[in-house]
C-alpha cells in the first residue's frame, strides 16, 4: 500500500458531551488502511465529545497512528515524537502511539523514558481508546492494549471521513500471507472479512452523502470471503450501489487473482480499470525466499491475461530492491520484468529488516546500502521513462476525470483529478466545477507523474 503522512485537520466540534472537552491532535503515517483507521478513531473519540485540532500547541492529547512497514517509517515517528516534546516543552500533554508500530515496538517504546509515552494501542483495540485515555490521564504510568481480536471489524462505527470525494472502505483486516519481509501479519493479526451486508450498507450511506468514489481496502483483497461471496461478487455488488461512480481496490495479491475478478473489472463500468499488482521482485528465487508463491513466469502470464481482457488497464506496482542475497544478475530480472510489463507507475523501496519477520530472523541483510541505492536509483530512472511513455499515450484524448481538489494549496486556479486508470490530471479550473465532479478533460501534455489538460465538452 502507498505510504504517506497526513495531518488530520478537522477542527470542528464533534458534538458530544465529555466533561473536559479535551482537544486531540491525530496524525497518520503509513498506508490507506491507517488513514481509514484514523477515521474510525475520530469517530470513536468524537462520540465521546473529544474535539480535534491541528496544532500540537493546542492539543491536550497527541495521537500518532503509526506505520512499521519499513525502517524509515519507524524513524519518522521517533523523530516526530522528539520534535513534539521539544515544541511543547512547557505544556503537559498525553501522548499515544497507535497502529502498527504500537504493536511491534511496544516494549522498546515504553522502555525509552525520553519518549514519554502514555498510551499504546494496536489496530484491534481502538474501541477502548476513551477508556484507556481516561486511565492514562488519571493515573501515573502508561496504558497499553496491543492484543489482536479476530472479531474486530469496527462494525457499527461510522468513520469520520476527511475526504469528501473518495471514501476508504476496509473489506478485510489483517493478513495471512506471511511474505517473509513483511511486518503486517505481526502488527495487524489474522485476516478477517467484513460482512457483505455491512460493506453495502456503508457504501449506500456514502452514496447518500454524495461520495462519488469508494476504494475497497485490504492487505489482500482477493481473499475476501463472506459465505458464498468472494471478491468478484463484492466488487460487482459495491459497483452497483446507486450514486457511486467509481470503485477502486487495494491491493490484490498476484498469487490468487481469479479470472472472476479480472472479469468483474472488465465488465463492471464503474470498477476502475486500474490494478495495483505488487511484483516485489522479478527473480523467481528471490520471490521464493520472499514467500510470494508465484514465479516471474506466473506474474508475466497474469499481466498478459489481464491486458488481454482489459486492454487499456492502468497497472502499478511495488518493488523491493536488495532483499537478502539478491545478486546483481537476479536484480537484472526485476529490471527485465519492469521493462516487459511497462507499469504505469511503481513504488520502489530498499529492503529493510523488520522485527519479528522470517527474513529478519533467517536472512542477514547482506546487500550493502550503496548497492541498494544504486539499484533503486536505476529502477526509478527506468520507471520514469516508462511512465512518461505510458502517460504520453493519452495525449490528445479526452478522458473523464474525477476532480479531487486543488492542484496546489497556493493556487485556486488549477484542479487535480484522476482518470479511470488512476493517472493524475492537472487542469485549469472552470466556474461551477467542484471536487467530486467528473468532467471530460482533453489531455494536452504528459509528464512521468501526471497529465496536463483542459476541460472539454463531453
Q: Which is nearer to ligand 5AD, 322 or 421 (CB)?
A: 322
Q: 5 or 263: whose CB is closer to ligand SF4?
A: 5
Q: Which of 149, 198, 226, 318 binds ligand 5AD (CB under 6 A)?
A: 318
Interface with ligand 5AD, residue 376, by CB under 6 A: no
Answer for which of 25, 67, 95, 133 binds ligand SF4 (CB under 6 A) is: 67
- Using CA atoms, how far apart are residues 10 and 4, in angstroms rounded to an integer? 18
Tell me the window of 47-55, 295-303, 345-353, 443-451 that interacts with ligand 5AD (CB under 6 A). 345-353
Is 383 one of the binding residues for ligand 5AD (CB under 6 A)?
A: no
Among ligand 5AD, ligand SF4, none, the one that 338 touches (CB under a kind-dependent 5 to 8 A) is none
- Do residues 268 and 231 touch, judged by C-beta distance below 8 A? no
Q: Report which DSSP code applies to 356.
A: T
- DSSP assignment of 368-401 equals -HHHHHHHHHHHHHHHHHHHHHHHHTTTT-EEEE
Contacts to ligand 5AD from residues 64-103, by CB under 6 A: 69-70
Q: Is 314 exposed, middle or buried (0-12, 13-18, 19+ CB in 10 A)?
A: buried
121: Cβ contacts below 8 Å, ≥ 6 apart = 96, 97, 98, 102, 128, 129, 132, 144, 145, 146
What is the residue-wise DSSP string for 29-90? EESHHHHHHHHHHHHHHHHTT-EE-S-GGG-SEEEEEE--SSHHHHHHHHHHHHHHHHHTTT
Instruction: Residue 387: name its binding partner from ligand 5AD, ligand SF4, none (Cβ under 5 to 8 Å by kind).
Output: none
352 binds ligand 5AD (CB under 6 A): yes
Residue 281 engages ligand 5AD in binding (rule: CB under 6 A): no
Task: Judge whether 91 and 57 are in contact, CB under 8 Å.
Answer: yes
CA torsion 157-268-262-266 (nearest 10°) is: -150
Judged by beta carbon, residue 67 or residue 451, the one nearer ligand 5AD is: 67
> How many chain residues touch ligand SF4 (CB under 6 A)?
14
* Window 346 to 405, contacts with ligand SF4 (CB under 6 A): none
Binding of residue 120 to ligand 5AD (CB under 6 A): no
- Residue sitting closest to ligand SF4 (CB): 30
Among 22, 94, 119, 184, binds ligand SF4 (CB under 6 A): 184
- Residues of span 151-190 touching ligand 5AD by CB under 6 A: 181-182
Residue among 31 and 376 whose Cβ is closer to ligand SF4: 31
Whether a cis peptide bond, with omega within 30° of 0, leads into 160 is no
- DSSP per residue, 178-215: --TT--HHHHT-S-EE--HHHHHHHHHHHHHTT--EEE
Determine, following the binding rule CB under 6 A, whether residue 187 of this chain makes contact with ligand SF4: yes
Please identify, using beta-carbon distances, which residue of 237 and 281 lies nearer to ligand 5AD. 281
Site track for ligand SF4 across 20-49, x = CB under 6 A: ----------xx-xx---------------
Q: How far is the CB of 326 from ligand 5AD (least distance, A)?
A: 12
Cβ 402 vs Cβ 247: under 8 Å:
no
SS3 at position 103: helix
Verify binding: residue 349, ligand 5AD, rule CB under 6 A.
yes
Closest separation between CB of residue 30 and ligand SF4, Å? 3
6, 110, 420, 434 from 101: Cα distances, Å: 17, 12, 34, 37
- CA-nearest of 189, 184, 147, 387 to 291 is 184
First to last CA, the chain: 34
Binding site for ligand SF4 (CB under 6 A): 1, 30-31, 33-34, 67-69, 99-100, 183-184, 187-188
Binding site for ligand 5AD (CB under 6 A): 1, 69-70, 181-182, 278, 280, 318, 320, 349, 351-352, 354
Amino acid at each position: 500500500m502507498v505510504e504517506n503522512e497526513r495531518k488530520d485537520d478537522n477542527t470542528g466540534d464533534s458534538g458530544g458531551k465529555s466533561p473536559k472537552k479535551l482537544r486531540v491532535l491525530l496524525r497518520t503515517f503509513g498506508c490507506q488502511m491507517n488513514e481509514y483507521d484514523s477515521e474510525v478513531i475520530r469517530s470513536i473519540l468524537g462520540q465521546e465529545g473529544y474535539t480535534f485540532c491541528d496544532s500540537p500547541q493546542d492539543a491536550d492529547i497527541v495521537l500518532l497512528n503509526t506505520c512499521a512497514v519499513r525502517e524509515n517509517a519507524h524513524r519518522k515517528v521517533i523523530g516526530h515524537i522528539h520534535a513534539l516534546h521539544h515544541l511543547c516543552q512547557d505544556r503537559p500533554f498525553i501522548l499515544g502511539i497507535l497502529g502498527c508500530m504500537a504493536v511491534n515496538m511496544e516494549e522498546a517504546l515504553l522502555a525509552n523514558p525520553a519518549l514519554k509515552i502514555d498510551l499504546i494501542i494496536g489496530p484491534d483495540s481502538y474501541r477502548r481508546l476513551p477508556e484507556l485515555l481516561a486511565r492514562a490521564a488519571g493515573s501515573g504510568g502508561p496504558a497499553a492494549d496491543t492484543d489482536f481480536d479476530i472479531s474486530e471489524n469496527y462494525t457499527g462505527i461510522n468513520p469520520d471521513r476527511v475526504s469528501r470525494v473518495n471514501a476508504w472502505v476496509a473489506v478485510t483486516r489483517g493478513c495471512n500471507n506471511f511474505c517473509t519481509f513483511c511486518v503486517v501479519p505481526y502488527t495487524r493479526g489474522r485476516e478477517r472479512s467484513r460482512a457483505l451486508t455491512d460493506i453495502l450498507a456503508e457504501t449506500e450511506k456514502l452514496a447518500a452523502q454524495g461520495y462519488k468514489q469508494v476504494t475497497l481496502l485490504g492487505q489482500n483483497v482477493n481473499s475476501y470471503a463472506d459465505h458464498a461471496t468472494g471478491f468478484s461478487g463484492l466488487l460487482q455488488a459495491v459497483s452497483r450501489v446507486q450514486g457511486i461512480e467509481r470503485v477502486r481496490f487495494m491491493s490484490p495479491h498476484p498469487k490468487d487473482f481469479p479470472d472472476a475478478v479480472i472479469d468483474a473489472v472488465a465488465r463492471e463500468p464503474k470498477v476502475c480499470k486500474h490494478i495495483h499488482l505488487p511484483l516485489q521482485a522479478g527473480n523467481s528465487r528471490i520471490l521464493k525466499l520472499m514467500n510470494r508463491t508465484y514465479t516471474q513466469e506466473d506474474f508475466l502470464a497474469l499481466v498478459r491475461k489481464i491486458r488481454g481482457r482489459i486492454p487499456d488497464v492502468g497497472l502499478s506496482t511495488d518493488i523491493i530492491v536488495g532483499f537478502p542475497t539478491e545478486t546483481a544478475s537476479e536484480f537484472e530480472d526485476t529490471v527485465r520484468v519492469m521493462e516487459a510489463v511497462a507499469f504505469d507507475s511503481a513504488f520502489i523501496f530498499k529492503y529493510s529488516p523488520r522485527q519479528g519477520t522470517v527474513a529478519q530472523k533467517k536472512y542477514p541483510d547482506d546487500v550493502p546500502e550503496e548497492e541498494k541505492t544504486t539499484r533503486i536509483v536505476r529502477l526509478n530512472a527506468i520507471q520514469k521513462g516508462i511512465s512518461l511513455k505510458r502517460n504520453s499515450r493519452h495525449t490528445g484524448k479526452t478522458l473523464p476525470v474525477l476532480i479531487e481538489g486543488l492542484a496546489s494549496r497556493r493556487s485556486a486556479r488549477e484542479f487535480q483529478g484522476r482518470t479511470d486508470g488512476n493517472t493524475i490530471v492537472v487542469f485549469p479550473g472552470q466556474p461551477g466545477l467542484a471536487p467530486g465532479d467528473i468532467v471530460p478533460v482533453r489531455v494536452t501534455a504528459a509528464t512521468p507523474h501526471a497529465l496536463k489538460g483542459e476541460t472539454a465538452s463531453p
